[in-house]
Amino acid sequence: MSNDQFEIEMNSPQVNSKSLIPYISKEFKSHFTKDITALYHYTDLEGAQGIISNKTFWASHIKFMNDSKEYSHGLEICEAIVENLIQEFPKENPRRIYLEEVFTILEEQDTDIFVVSFCESEDLLSQWRGYSRSKYGVSIGFDYAALFDVSFHLSEENFFPRKVIYNHQLQQQIIHRIIEIALVSREMNTTKQAYTPKEVARTIGYFLPLFKHSTFSEEKEWRIIVTNSKSMPYQHELKFRARDNIILPYIELLTHNKMTQNDNKLPIKQITVGPSGTNEFTARSLNYYLKNVGYPTVPIKISHIPYR
């Protein structure tokens, strides 16, 4: 992309020159989203009751999640790219100095990342094992259009889910594109449009939780990413809860039905009860609960996966 073309897009009202995240989200939109009717959130019975009763999701700190090591996968890809680019320039080259600062900030990142996970499949063994956390798991199927802003206003505050990227080449392409735009914006030499190294590092850090190894592709995972950073003017309220052997940091995300005629209820399409020795009994109790809290028509299914 030429500098002139980039300048035109930077000056477009759809692009916020202070934040790089919406720009990258929009450019790679076809990879981060697709036409679907439902997404499924896997949790245990206690978690399901909390979501339905309070109309909130709990976004957990990524460092304390079951697959927290996956974050290092994206970070290793990113660090390798930045290090290789740094080596392409002489020591006193402004591009090298700029990238070295980005690299330093990445290593000393002050951003806390919180995640809510969803899946395209309602009944998947890997998801039962990873997220239900007990033999009494459920997956809540949400109407995609009714719960999320399908007009795709790309803002971190909109809590819009994005598909997890499993393709290694695409992961590299996204990181390269972030750096390319940042360098071009810097060389335009206008304070208003230049992305700082801190903003570039923050953008990279935002997308890294969407990068997972290709061996996990059967999970078909989507994620809502929420960030807290000391450098940001707005901070989401941080909360804590005990879970097994840790004190888990999390952020509450209040949600609602975007269909105004039914705004007092979450747009739940169905609930699937996970594999267990008592799943029919669990389904019966869940059905009774739903009828008494305003969801009398939500269908309840039993997992087809054998319990063992």
Q: What is the pLDDT of residues 27-70, one digit of tens each?
A: 999 999 888 999 999 999 999 999 999 999 999 998 888 665 66
Cβ atoms of residues 190 and 223 within 8 Å: no
Question: Residue 301 corresponds to which amino acid?
Answer: K
Structure confidence at residue 192 (pLDDT)? 55
**Strand positions, DSSP E, the chain:** 38-44, 56-61, 111-119, 137-143, 162-163, 221-229, 239-243, 246-254, 268-273, 300-302
CA separation for the pair 308, 300 (Å, rounded): 21
Cβ atoms of residues 135 and 44 within 8 Å: no
Structure confidence at residue 4 (pLDDT)? 41
State pTM to two decimals: 0.86
Sign of CA dihedral 125, 148, 203, 228: negative
Q: Residue 50, by phi and psi: left (phi above 0), alpha (psi -120 to 50) or beta?
A: alpha
Segments of the chain with pLDDT less than 70? 1-18, 66-71, 132-135, 149-158, 189-193, 231-232, 260-263, 307-308
